[in-house]
Amino acid sequence: DTEVTQTPKHLVMGMTNKKSLKCEQHMGHRAMYWYKQKAKKPPELMFVYSYEKLSINESVPSRFSPECPNSSLLNLHLHALQPEDSALYLCASSQGGQGGNTIYFGEGSWLTVV
Amino acid sequence: QQQVKQSPQSLIVQKGGISIINCAYENTAFDYFPWYQQFPGKGPALLIAIRPDVSEKKEGRFTISFNKSAKQFSLHIMDSQPGDSATYFCAATSLGDYKLSFGAGTTVTVRA
């Protein structure tokens, strides 16, 4: 079983809604990630937090807003999404820095924008 | 531009057979090569990983072969089982780099 926990597992939201995806890890990892995955495609990196600071933003539209409240938690705030944003959103974590780059994924949150 | 090229896109193998997935990379800075297994509706799970100082690594029925000079690596699934039916992604990265370059994925179907 994955040690990266994501909630909710499924989310349906309208284009004017505001919702959040949540992620938690208790492996002591200092790097946390958000990925987006479309059907039959590899995961695409969206954001990386390293030691609770935003380290990488892969030119993601501002309707996606990440937040890292502490080293164990990662949120993704969603607002004014488009139907094409429907996808599996994956949270992941790794030790970070020179401590190793084995990335562990959660089960994902299935997002449907209607 | 895809930094890791993976083939085949899909394969079908009979139960007990060998599944082989190949990946190639260009970036010589890559020094860590994980493989992920993903079942429908689930997140990718780390299956096995290798560093370039090792030419082969085996875990159970899964073996990675690595050819540094050719910049290629492959996953062999021995004695394939129906429960191995999944999508497999190869990936590559460098120590200290947060970005993981994925291959396009291979859907493996094991027929009973």
Segment A36-60, tens digit of pLDDT: 999 989 999 999 999 999 999 999 9
pLDDT value, residue A98:
56
Q: Which residues pair with A39 in a beta bridge?
A: none
| Dist. CA B84–CA B1, nearest whole Å | 30
pLDDT value, residue B97:
86
Residues 6+ apart with CB under 8 A from B27: B3, B92, B94, B101
pLDDT-derived band at B92 (thresholds 50, 70, 90) equals very high
| pLDDT cut 90: percent of chain B above it | 91
pLDDT value, residue B110:
98
> Residues A75-94: what's their mean pLDDT?
96
CB-CB neighbors (< 8 A) of A88 in chain B: 43
**B45 part of contact set with chain A, CB < 8 Å:** yes
Write the residue in A6, A56, A90 that is nearest to B98 by C-beta.
A56
- Give the number of residues written for chain B: 112
Q: Is pLDDT above 70 for A34?
A: yes
Report CA A73 to chain centroid distance, whole Å. Answer: 11
